[in-house]
Amino acid sequence: MSWLGRFFAHERLETELDKEVRFHFESQVADKVRVGVSENEARRLTRLEFGGMEQVKEDCREKRGTMWLETIGRDVRYALRRLRGAPVFSCMVVLTLALGLGANTAIFTLVHAILLRSLPVTDPSRLYRIGDQMHCCYFGSFESNDGDFDLFSYDLFRQFQQASPEFEQLAAVQAGGGSYTVRWGDSPAKSLRTEYVSGNYFTTFGVNTFAGRPLSPGDDTKGAAPVVVLSYSAWQREFDGNPNVIGATLHLDQHAFVVVGVAPPGFYGDRVAPFPPDMWMPLASEPVMEGANSSLLQPDTAWLYAIGRMRPDVNLGVLQTKLSGVLRQWMGTLSTFTARGGAAEIPRQHVVLSPAGGGIQKVQQQTGTGLRILLFLSSVVLLIACANIANLLLARSMAQRAEIAVRIGLGATRGRIIQQILMESLILSVIGGVVGLGVAYFGSRAILALAFPLSRNMPVSADPSWVVLAFAFGTSILTGLLFAGVPAWVSSGTQPADAARGMNRSTRDHASIPQRLLLVFQVALSMVLIVCAFLATRSLYNLEHQRTGIETANRYTVQIDLNGPGYTSDRLNGIYREIEDHFSALPGMTAVSFARYLPLENNIWGSCVLLQGHPAPGPKDDCFSNWNRVSTNFLQSIGVPVLRGRGFSQDDETSAVPVVIVNQAFVKHFFAGKDALGQRFGVNDLEFSSAFQIVGVFADFKLEDAHGDVRPLFLRPRGQQYMGYNAPDQQAAEVSSLYLTRMVLQFDRPQQDVEQLVRSTIAKVDPNIPVVRVLSYPAMVANNFNQDRLLARLTEAFGILALLLASVGLYGVISYSAVRRTSEIGIRMALGASRSMIVSLMLRSAFVQFFAGLVIGVPAALFASRMMQHLLYEISSDDPWAFVGSVAVLGVCAAVAALIPAMRAASVDPIRALRTE
Amino acid sequence: MKKTEDKFDLPQGTLDLLIMRVVALGPIHGYAIAQRIQQMSREALQVQQGSLYPALHRLEYKKLLSSKWKPSDTGREAKFYELTVRGRAQLKTETENWTRLTDVVGLVLKGTVEGIG
């Protein structure tokens, strides 16, 4: 019979063992009776010779080798019985652990899903990216101050490809995604996310298609028939998984594309992004879509990331040096980089190879610091929870000391006692772990919604993976052993004699020292969490209540697409006016305006400003200004005043003299605060430096980054085209800037269901114009603070949790010590101590621990808050008010938690106290 | 319990060998094994139940012995042990080892040291 068989045949083996030993006994008795001993005497003698039948059996059982398992089984049953006997205690422990573990696991789920996960592709460890920065989305000059390049033009990408056979495949992917209006047959037009990729994209990742075929290098050649590959989720969502789509012709804007395949389910592209691409298009189709404005054909327009599959055993350092050489050599051939002193900068330019198993690390870089801080803080919560549980167990084991002493007196070994106590906490930690997983599941869903509120089909799921499950399980077991170890050891040291001695009668007990240390530890850790919560909350408040310079109340933002339905530039002014008229006629509408980009939408473009009569700026001069094209009443619609000169008028839209208005930051930066009215400047080339005349100055408002300072900005009027350009690409860019796709609708009162209103109004003008997005302006601004909100809300939750746990811990320890010292208190009161003296006696030790906790906690909090310094907005990481406030909050909670049991202890009747055992 | 001079403790592992030797004679239950060892050793060895049964069970789990429940002489059911094929081989090697060991130990104990005599 095998070992396992013996374990399961337990019952039968027991009966047989009993029968066998009994047979021996009876035979021995019978032999004695046979030689003349009386039956009773024979039994007595045999029993003596046997020396304990149970001992014999026990020795036989041991030989089965299943004893330890049976002991564990017994311990489990025993522990469960004991835990059922103490439901409040058990629930407290499970709940505390579940919250602590849940918080930790929820954060870890996100850390794993966002930071640790590899792309779902073949052998992701061999993927490398040329570049380690996150420049986006179009660049036409030097990229960083230290010369680190990561965004490349198509021309440069091809040079890299030719120079690096070390890459099995090297693919190019569009840095920023785009969207096009897609039509299929008679179905309504929809706006889908797109990404241009090189023809070897799917080969590089080793990914095939779910249906049809992937893109091939043949698709990515000039003049090839335009094709796309759909993502699986877009195929399901937008086309209901209709198999007829594969091979069908879609119209992207006005251009016909054939769907050649659908990517496999789960493949979300080359990076984790809030808006993953719905379709991949070959680079060669970019000129088809963009015409003369195409980036592909511009040798110096950088808009691609390069990611490739490395051959085995490649020396990365050597390859990096080689590619940097290719970069510098390529730059030397372009006047963009050599002109105006740029040549001196070229030797510093280089690329850095970075591992790309997780894809392009954009979201990871944006959220990494915050997530790591949150993981750290949630671990602190878990530690506090552990300390609490250790305290509860300690108190419990103290209460059971008499019982344990009796068991030791009866012969239980120290090991057995420890084993049983550990089993109890192990069971608690497993239950806590399971409940904690539930907390984590809902927690991480809530956190995802907080972190990426506007995302669509983001490939980050809150479902726990095996790694997460293993993490949670491991952590719960580890904490179980951690928090049970101390109490188990302490109580197993009980002397059996103590039981007889009436050890409950005491004024001091050394065993409570671990409890007090745990309390100090809890206060210190809570301090860390509360300070972080204070700082993050204050930072979010500062962000949300800052002066952005724009009014957003009762305003809605609308994004439409005019390229899609095929509006040519000459028809634009007409359609703008028509849309404007329709919306203005709506009841309650105060203002309707158009813009190419909206403030705080997180998207803007810019140019190098060339002032009339000034030499061209060198490579190190900051000549960059954002610019935007807007309709006449745009500034009015977002509540921005014109400070000097004039705003735009209807005449500007069609007049031939190009005019611009600029913000205060522009005046300060380019004119050192001197009068800018009437001055002229241009972009692209010095020969156009007289193109625009400044006619007004408007108040600063934040355009792109709500965390940063206001940058220079100039506005050009809707419809006004500069006719001086002669190069086709410059002309094309000028024309494409005429397409204003954003609208601001200002109502005079709060609105219901604006989206429906917008869609029906636009449909009245032209049903072919797709409405891409309708969003209230405050919601769009709030989207700027997702990370800050996540950090603030979670640190608040952690802080409250920590406060709660620490208070419960303190309360427990004080009330426990009050019970232990009941008779002492009785004696003191009998000798004349007043109630207030008793209260202060009880509080004294609590405050010693509180202050000891602060002594450790304040420096620890300083350390922790410094980690999040650069995530804070307009508040210093050592803000005194945050620290004073935290101490105050913690102090009040500690005082309440300590006062209640202290008062109760003082209210005891001295006679009764003296009688307590 | 009286302790006679000619009874002594068995060296470690010897009990297993004795049990296997006795069982080799034919199917036999535990009580009879103890009796038989006592007889064969001319009362010099008395096997205690406390050592006999754990040893029997250990040998059974090691698959050196097999067992069967059969009626005994008295008519009561008893657990009869038998040597397995493996047990028989084990008995053979262990008996050889034992004989060699006692021979060698005997040689040393009886012999004279060269150079002294």
Q: Residue type at A64?
A: R
Q: What pLDDT score was predicted for residue B113? A: 60
Answer for the pair A125, A357: CB distance below 8 angstroms, yes or no.
yes
Q: Which residue has the tokens 């835990």?
A: A83
Answer for the pair A62, B54: CB distance below 8 angstroms, yes or no.
yes
- Return the residue of A nearest to B65 by Cα: A1
> How many domains in chain B?
1
Distance CA A212, CA A264 (A): 10
CB-CB neighbors (< 8 A) of B73 in chain A: none
Partner B contacted by A14 (CB < 8 A): no
Closest CA to A746 of A878, A873, A598, A537: A598
Nearest to A30 among B50, B61, B74 (CB): B74
Q: What pLDDT score was predicted for residue B9? A: 66
**Sign, CA torsion B23/B29/B31/B32:** negative
The three-state secondary structure class of A559 is strand
Partner B contacted by A63 (CB < 8 A): yes
Q: Which residue has the tokens 């001695």?
A: A501
Structural element, H or E, at residue A526 = helix A512-544
Interface probe with B: pick from A14, A22, A63, A64, most Cβ of B within 10 Å: A63
3-state secondary structure A342-362: HHHHHHHCEECEEECCCCCCH
Q: What pLDDT score was predicted for residue A829? A: 85
Q: What pLDDT score was predicted for residue A212? A: 92
Q: Does B9 fall in a domain?
A: no
Can you read off the two tokens belonging to residue A901?
Answer: 């049991």
CB-CB neighbors (< 8 A) of B76 in chain A: 23, 26
Answer for the pair A593, A637: CB distance below 8 angstroms, yes or no.
yes
Q: How many CA atoms lie within 13 A of A820 on its CB side?
A: 21
Structural element, H or E, at residue A62 = helix A53-63
Question: B61 to chain A nearest CA, in Å?
Answer: 7
Answer for the pair A246, A279: CB distance below 8 angstroms, yes or no.
no
Cis geometry, peptide bond prior to residue A608 (ω within 30 degrees of 0):
no
Q: Does B24 fall in a domain?
A: yes
Question: A35 to chain B nearest CA, in Å?
Answer: 15
Q: Does B2 fall in a domain?
A: no
Q: Does B114 fall in a domain?
A: no
Nearest to A27 among B31, B54, B58 (CB): B31
Partner B contacted by A64 (CB < 8 A): yes
Q: Does B96 fall in a domain?
A: yes
| Interface touch B57/A60, C-beta < 8 Å | yes
| Interface touch B54/A26, C-beta < 8 Å | no
CB-CB neighbors (< 8 A) of B58 in chain A: 63
Partner A contacted by B48 (CB < 8 A): yes
CB-CB neighbors (< 8 A) of A65 in chain B: 61
Residues whose CB falls within 8 Å of the CB of residue A366, separated by 6 or more in sequence, listed in order: A787
- Return the residue of B nearest to A16 by Cα: B79
**Sign, CA torsion A9/A11/A16/A17:** positive
Q: Are strands A353-355 and A589-595 parallel, antiparallel or unpaired?
A: unpaired
Terminal alpha carbon distance of chain B: 46
Q: What pLDDT score was predicted for residue A451? A: 81
Between vectors from CA B50 to CA B49 and to CA B55, what angle results, nearest 5°? 90
Q: What pLDDT score was predicted for residue B85? A: 92
Distance CA A536, CA A439 (A): 23
Residue A873, strand partner residues = none
Answer for the pair A509, A824: CB distance below 8 angstroms, yes or no.
no
Partner A contacted by B7 (CB < 8 A): no
What is the number of CB-based contacts under 8 A between chain A and chain B? 59
Q: What pLDDT score was predicted for residue A511? A: 47
Beta strand ranges found along A49-204 (DSSP E): 127-130, 148-149, 167-174, 178-183, 190-197
Dihedral class, residue A144 (left if φ above 0, else alpha if ψ from -120 to 50, else beta): beta
Question: A65 to chain B nearest CA, in Å?
Answer: 9
Q: Residue type at B66?
A: S
- Return the residue of B nearest to A27 by Cα: B31
Partner A contacted by B75 (CB < 8 A): no
The three-state secondary structure class of A291 is helix
Q: Which domain holds residue B52?
A: 14-106
Q: Identify the band that residue B45 occupies on the pLDDT scale cut at 50, 70 and 90.
A: confident
Answer for the pair A663, A697: CB distance below 8 angstroms, yes or no.
yes
pLDDT of B115 above 50: no
Partner A contacted by B53 (CB < 8 A): yes
Distance CA A95, CA A80 (A): 17
Distance CA A605, CA A268 (A): 27
Answer for the pair A781, A454: CB distance below 8 angstroms, yes or no.
no
Structural element, H or E, at residue A449 = helix A414-451
Q: What is the mean pLDDT of residues B46-55?
A: 84
Distance CA B114, CA B117 (A): 6
Question: B31 to chain A nearest CA, in Å?
Answer: 5
Closest CA to A386 of A805, A869, A901: A805
Distance CA A354, CA A341 (A): 30
Q: Which residue has the tokens 């085995």?
A: A312
pLDDT of B1 above 50: no
CB-CB neighbors (< 8 A) of A21 in chain B: 49, 53
Terminal alpha carbon distance of chain A: 55
User: What CATH number is associated with residue B52?
Assistant: 1.10.10.10
Nearest to B78 among A23, A56, A63 (CB): A23
The three-state secondary structure class of A57 is helix
- Return the residue of A nearest to B71 by Cα: A23
Q: Which residue has the tokens 């870890």?
A: A108
Distance CA A126, CA A115 (A): 18
Q: Does B64 fall in a domain?
A: yes
Question: A38 to chain B nearest CA, in Å?
Answer: 18
| Interface touch B1/A48, C-beta < 8 Å | yes
Answer for the pair B31, A49: CB distance below 8 angstroms, yes or no.
no
Distance CA A543, CA A128 (A): 37
Question: B92 to chain A nearest CA, in Å?
Answer: 24
Say how far residue A487 (Cα) sits from the centre of its chain. 36
Distance CA A914, CA A508 (A): 16
Interface probe with A: pick from B2, B57, B58, B65, most Cβ of A within 10 Å: B57
Render A858-909 in DSSP notation, one character per residue. Answer: HHHHHHHHHHTGGG-SSS-TT-HHHHHHHHHHHHHHHHHHHHHHHHHHHTS-
Q: Measured between alpha carbons, how far is residue A43 from residues A31, A32, A258, B32 in Å?
A: 11, 9, 99, 19
Average pLDDT of adjacent 10-residue blocks, chain A of 917 residues: 70 84 87 88 85 77 74 84 84 86 87 85 92 83 82 94 93 89 83 92 93 93 93 92 92 91 92 88 92 85 93 92 93 84 85 90 83 88 84 76 78 79 84 88 86 77 78 80 73 65 50 77 91 93 90 93 85 91 93 93 84 82 89 93 91 82 93 88 87 93 85 91 86 88 93 91 90 90 88 90 86 78 82 87 85 94 89 89 93 90 83 70
Beta strand ranges found along A6-147 (DSSP E): 127-130
Q: Does B113 fall in a domain?
A: no
| Interface touch A24/B30, C-beta < 8 Å | yes
Nearest to A20 among B30, B58, B74 (CB): B30
CB-CB neighbors (< 8 A) of B31 in chain A: 23-24, 27-28
Say how far residue A749 (Cα) sits from the centre of its chain. 36
Distance CA A828, CA A239 (A): 83
Partner B contacted by A62 (CB < 8 A): yes
